[in-house]
A and B are shown apart, each in its own frame.
Chain A
């Protein structure tokens, strides 16, 4: 009975081939999803790699805005924000804050005068158990329009090719506005004199369900005093941290939080574009910074200032940056917690 035997052998071969194809396709689909066939895909790992400063990976530290100092204080809502969002943080009252003044550098030991961008991380907690986390910076606009362009900016700034930045600026014309601010904008001698801008847009929902796309900023109560970069360079490497610690001895420091509402058609997805000056603004409350603590043992050390951690009444908009920041910050958090031994808490008040 050669015939049936042959056909059953053929059918068995066919079955095994089918199984191999099914398994192969399954494995390939998984590998594709994981990005193994897409070397061009921008991943959190690639972004973190591109952030690596010439001084080497900042082990135990945030991968960007690596140098900073913790503060605690309160956010006092005046109630006006309830017209925009039903988040509890806008109902009149005082809510505890943990924050961090920081420098936009991946080098935790960078001298303060060498870093153009200064920032503030903020976490406001409300009694309903929700949190509003935000990380803001002092330029009035973001350098680029998309996370991909930010990645290209990191590569260009780290490149040894002397024309890399020129090529980048030509390819990303939106960078010109930031470039102008970076070269001719004023410098101050204090974290307390900076205006911190959220830059990314978010959607606020009020109690009637109406939605508005907004950005927010913290305006300093302290009068900004322009200091030339040359004069700043003569100060110590940590002058900003020393100055803010010293200044706080004279009493708490304040910022007014202002929410700006977009008009239809405003560039809500592009933080490199400012909105027109005449847009509706609402002063929603006051941030009071009461205490400064070094980061090493400070309360901000372990906070991931992930801008997508929002209370209900706020959500992400069509701005692609908060999601990208969230994914990269998570990677940065995973790395620095794994490297905690490289940035040890000091024994004096180390956690048990």
Chain B
């Protein structure tokens, strides 16, 4: 952890916002495709699968970049429960970013004759059901966590104004702030 940096590196910020767009699109496509019989069903499914693999690849790159460059420190005056919540929610986000595509991929592997990707699991009725349920319900957990993440980010940006949001903002809004503040 390099504690002296105030903001995430440009690469980390790029990955964050790119993945934010991809993951939100992915979650909306997911709930949309399982609730329609219209022709867009096929279009949505055909985006969902490759986009999932793209997110998996981006998440692994992002994890490596994070291990290499670390994160800026949280504000010293942040109450301990908030610090803990911040850390735990970020672990959960990483688990889901990597886990959801793997569950989806595994699900297609366990399905009979389902994928053009190499199968990562054997075909199995029981396994398919387990993975399908996990993939489905975790999608809602994932979205709830993203809303929580967004609420916390806005809380830092608008209420606490402690620089946490600025650390990940695409462009810094505080570059001319007087040191006194």
Contact with A along B42-86 (1 / 0, CB 8 A): 100100000000000000000000000000000000000000000
Q: Are A19 and B158 in contact (CB under 8 A)?
A: yes
Q: Are A33 and B32 in contact (CB under 8 A)?
A: yes
Q: Are A323 and B31 in contact (CB under 8 A)?
A: no
Q: Are B154 and A316 in contact (CB under 8 A)?
A: no
Q: Are A316 and B113 in contact (CB under 8 A)?
A: no
The main secondary structure of chain A at its interface with chain B is helix
Q: Are A316 and B42 in contact (CB under 8 A)?
A: yes
Q: Does A44 contact B (CB under 8 A)?
A: yes
Central interface residue in A18, A42, A322, A334, by most chain B CB within 10 Å: A334
Chain B residue numbers with a CB within 8 Å of A26 are: 147, 150
Q: Does B118 contact A (CB under 8 A)?
A: no
Q: Are A324 and B151 in contact (CB under 8 A)?
A: no
A114 CB to nearest chain B CB (Å): 28
Chain B residue numbers with a CB within 8 Å of A45 are: 35
A19-B154, A334-B132 as given contacts; A147 in contact with B37, CB under 8 Å: yes
Q: Are A23 and B113 in contact (CB under 8 A)?
A: no
Q: Are A323 and B158 in contact (CB under 8 A)?
A: no
Q: Are B37 and A303 in contact (CB under 8 A)?
A: no
A47-B37, A334-B132 as given contacts; A340 in contact with B32, CB under 8 Å: no
Q: Give Cα distance in the complex from A30 to B144, angstroms.
A: 10
Q: Are A304 and B36 in contact (CB under 8 A)?
A: no
Q: Give Cα distance in the complex from A66 to B173, angstroms.
A: 62
Contact with B along A153-180 (1 / 0, CB 8 A): 0000000000000000000000000000
A245 CB to nearest chain B CB (Å): 24
Q: Does A188 contact B (CB under 8 A)?
A: no
Chain A residue numbers with a CB within 8 Å of B172 are: none
Contact with B along A65-84 (1 / 0, CB 8 A): 00000000000000000000
Q: Are B37 and A22 in contact (CB under 8 A)?
A: no
Residues of chain B from 1 to 38 with CB closer than 8 A to chain A in the complex:
27-28, 31-38
Contact with B along A316-328 (1 / 0, CB 8 A): 1000101110111
Q: Does B94 contact A (CB under 8 A)?
A: no
Q: Give Cα distance in the complex from A303 to B123, angstroms.
A: 12
Q: Give Cα distance in the complex from A147 to B38, angstroms.
A: 8
Q: Give Cα distance in the complex from A47 to B38, angstroms.
A: 12
Chain A residue numbers with a CB within 8 Å of B31 are: 30, 33-35
Q: Give Cα distance in the complex from A16 to B151, angstroms.
A: 9
A175 CB to nearest chain B CB (Å): 19
Q: Give Cα distance in the complex from A29 to B42, angstroms.
A: 21
Q: Does A182 contact B (CB under 8 A)?
A: no
Chain B residue numbers with a CB within 8 Å of A18 are: 154, 158
Contact with B along A179-210 (1 / 0, CB 8 A): 00000000000000000000000000000000
Measured as residues with beta carbon below 8 angstroms from the partner, the interface class of chain A is 35 or more
B49 CB to nearest chain A CB (Å): 13
Q: Does B155 contact A (CB under 8 A)?
A: yes
| CB-contact partner of B32 in A15, A34, A326, under 8 A | A34
Q: Are A43 and B37 in contact (CB under 8 A)?
A: yes
A125 to chain B: closest residue by CB: B113
A297 CB to nearest chain B CB (Å): 14
Q: Does A302 contact B (CB under 8 A)?
A: yes
Q: Are B151 and A19 in contact (CB under 8 A)?
A: yes
Q: Does A27 contact B (CB under 8 A)?
A: yes
Q: Are A302 and B143 in contact (CB under 8 A)?
A: no
Q: Give Cα distance in the complex from A9 to B72, angstroms.
A: 29
Q: Does A138 contact B (CB under 8 A)?
A: no
Chain A residue numbers with a CB within 8 Å of B111 are: 333, 337
Q: Give Cα distance in the complex from A43 to B143, angstroms.
A: 21
Q: Are A323 and B155 in contact (CB under 8 A)?
A: no
Residues of chain B from 99 to 120 with CB closer than 8 A to chain A in the complex:
111-113, 116
Q: Are B37 and A323 in contact (CB under 8 A)?
A: yes
Q: Are A23 and B112 in contact (CB under 8 A)?
A: no
A315 to chain B: closest residue by CB: B42
B121 CB to nearest chain A CB (Å): 14
Contact with B along A22-41 (1 / 0, CB 8 A): 11001101100111000001
Q: Are A323 and B112 in contact (CB under 8 A)?
A: no
Residues of chain A from 251 to 279 with CB closer than 8 A to chain B in the complex:
none
Q: Are A304 and B42 in contact (CB under 8 A)?
A: no
In the A-B complex, list the 7 residue pairs whose CB atoms are closest, starting with the nearest. A15-B158, A302-B112, A35-B35, A34-B31, A324-B37, A340-B125, A338-B129
5 A-B residue pairs with Cβ-Cβ distance under 8 Å, sorted by A, are: A45-B35, A47-B37, A308-B42, A322-B42, A323-B38
**20 further contact pairs, Cβ within 8 A, besides A26-B150, A43-B37, A337-B128:** A15-B158, A15-B159, A16-B159, A22-B154, A29-B28, A30-B28, A30-B31, A33-B28, A33-B35, A34-B31, A41-B35, A44-B35, A45-B35, A129-B116, A131-B113, A147-B37, A316-B42, A320-B39, A323-B40, A326-B45
